[in-house]
């Protein structure tokens, strides 16, 4: 049984390692923007456009199962996987970490899009932008807000544009996991008064939320996008792995 694993997360790497150990025929796909993992299986870097698109790749390589273990905000890739699977009759299974849940002490405010975010930022002075990449136009608008004094933009990859003319912006390169003491030091030394975040789930980037809770700081949380439904959805890696083994066994009987 041939498996295509759409990765880019720590969960994807763990699942891929488990599949490799169990001798599954798996290919790992990653955008490759941050780093390329070392795995004992074929690794595709840079997407499927150069290969004729995902549907063409699945057909040409006779893939039997697609595992979507991308980031919860990778809407384009997740939706394309479902569309390609439907076109070819290839099952698409998805694992996403459960979203973080707000406690009574958390000062979270959810937003749907950038326009909402800009409006919310009018109430703060020193944001930590830790919700992935922002465009030059978006950062320019935040930088232009009269109330904003200082912006910390933290991303794993340097912006593709020149941001030096944005006088209030300080870019910080950092790749998780992030730890509580480091997050606390950053937030307090930069005098951050609001954190902008995605609801990524998991523990790798949750320390900033713990610090925000302790300091009673506001968190502006980007809601997860609505994705096309896969054939199966998992929020436990163990359950996903067990289902793959069971499915492989059933397919081998059919073959």
Does pLDDT of 89 surpass 90?
yes
What would the pLDDT profile of 132-157 be if each residue is shown by its tens digit? 999 999 999 999 999 999 999 999 88
What would the pLDDT profile of 216-235 be if each residue is shown by its tens digit? 999 999 999 999 999 999 99
Give the residue extent of every domain in the chain.
2-98+226-254, 107-222
Percent of all residues in the chain with a pLDDT value above 90, rounded to a whole number: 84
Average pLDDT value over all residues in the chain: 94
> pTM above 0.85?
yes
Best-predicted range by mean pLDDT (6-10, 147-151, 172-176): 147-151
pLDDT at 36: 77
What would the pLDDT profile of 198-217 be if each residue is shown by its tens digit? 999 988 899 999 999 999 99
pLDDT at 255: 58
pLDDT at 26: 97
Selected residue with higher pLDDT from 80 and 50: 80
Judge whether 2-98+226-254 and 107-222 match in fold. Answer: yes
Specify the CATH number of the domain 2-98+226-254. 3.40.50.720
DSSP letters spanning the chain:
-EEEEE--SHHHHHHHHHHHHTT-EEEEEE--SS-----SS-EEES-SGGGT-HHHHHHHTT--EEEE-S-TT-HHHHHHHHHHHHHHT--EEEE-PPPP---TT-EEEEESSHHHHHHHHTT-SSEEEESS---HHHHHHHHH-TT---EEEEESS--SS--TT-TTEEEEE--S---HHHHHHHHHHTT--EEEEE---SSTT-HHHHHHHHHT-EEEEEPPPP----SEEES-HHHHHHHHHHHHHHHHHH-
Q: Region 15-32: what's the mean pLDDT?
A: 94
Q: Region 94-118: what's the mean pLDDT?
A: 96
pLDDT at 227: 97
Does pLDDT of 45 surpass 70?
yes
Q: Region 181-193: what's the mean pLDDT?
A: 98
CATH superfamily of this structure's domain 107-222: NAD(P)-binding Rossmann-like Domain (3.40.50.720)
pLDDT at 34: 63
Does pLDDT of 50 surpass 80?
no
Does pLDDT of 176 surpass 80?
yes
What CA–CA distance (Å, rounded) separates 38 from 93?
23
Query: In the structure, what pLDDT confidence band is assigned to residue 33 with cuts at 50, 70 and 90?
Result: low
pLDDT at 254: 65
């Amino acid at each position: 049984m041939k498996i295509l694993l759409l990765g880019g997360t720590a969960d994807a790497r763990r699942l891929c390692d488990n599949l490799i150990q169990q001798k599954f025929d798996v290919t790992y796909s990653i955008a490759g923007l941050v780093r390329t993992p070392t795995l004992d299986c074929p690794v595709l870097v840079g997407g499927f456009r150069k290969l004729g698109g995902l549907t063409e790749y699945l057909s040409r390589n006779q893939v039997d199962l697609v595992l979507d273990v991308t980031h919860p905000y990778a809407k384009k890739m997740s939706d394309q996987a479902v569309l390609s699977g439907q076109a070819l009759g290839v099952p698409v299974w998805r694992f996403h970490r459960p979203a973080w849940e707000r406690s009574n002490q958390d000062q979270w405010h959810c937003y749907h899009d950038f326009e909402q975010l800009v409006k919310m930022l009018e109430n703060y002075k020193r944001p930590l932008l830790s919700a992935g990449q922002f465009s030059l136009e978006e950062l320019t608008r935040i930088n232009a807000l009269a109330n904003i004094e200082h912006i910390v933009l933290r991303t794993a990859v340097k912006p593709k544009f020149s941001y030096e003319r944005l006088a209030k912006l300080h870019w910080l390169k950092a790749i998780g996991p992030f730890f509580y003491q480091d997050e606390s030091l950053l937030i307090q030394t930069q005098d951050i008064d609001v954190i902008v975040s995605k609801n990524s789930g998991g523990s790798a980037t949750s320390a900033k939320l713990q610090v925000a809770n302790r300091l009673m700081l506001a968190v502006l949380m980007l809601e997860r996008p609505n994705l096309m439904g896969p054939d199966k959805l998992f929020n436990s890696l163990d359950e996903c792995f067990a289902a793959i083994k069971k499915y492989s066994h059933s397919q081998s009987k059919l073959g």
